[in-house]
Structure 1
Amino acid sequence: FTAADLQVISENLLSIDEAPDTEIPLRTAVTKATGGQGYVKCMCLSGCSSGRCSCSRKRVLCNSGCHPGKSCNNI
């Protein structure tokens, strides 16, 4: 958007009492709001057979960026 596309509004959309007190980094907030870029990569050494594999947890298949040269059960 350009500055000309934005408009000032007079009403408050959120009160101070409704906002949580926890602080998170801007990148984390944007990722939570948008879902991120969707790129997941794991560095599993156990062949992605444990429940700790980030790809398996997100229900995506491992790709060439994951643990190159290692065996994988999630392909």
Structure 2
Amino acid sequence: MNELESRIAELEVRLAFQDDTIQALNDEVVRLQGLIERLGAQLTVLARRQEELSGRIEEGDEAPPPHY
């Protein structure tokens, strides 16, 4: 194998490793995007519950306990 063929073979090996790395990174981005979407949905649910509970507390308008 001459020098040119050797260099081409090395570049092909590097390209294959880069393709594998890019695919692994893409898989991780997809996984993290799904996680972000689930966390966002959970945050929305928690914010709604917080608003509901805050509304109930304000509606009750109870006096503070005697130890205050």
What range is the shorter-chain TM-score in?
under 0.3
**Between Structure 1 and Structure 2, which shows a larger proportion of helix residues?**
2
When Rg is computed on C-alpha atoms for both structures, the one with the higher figure is 2
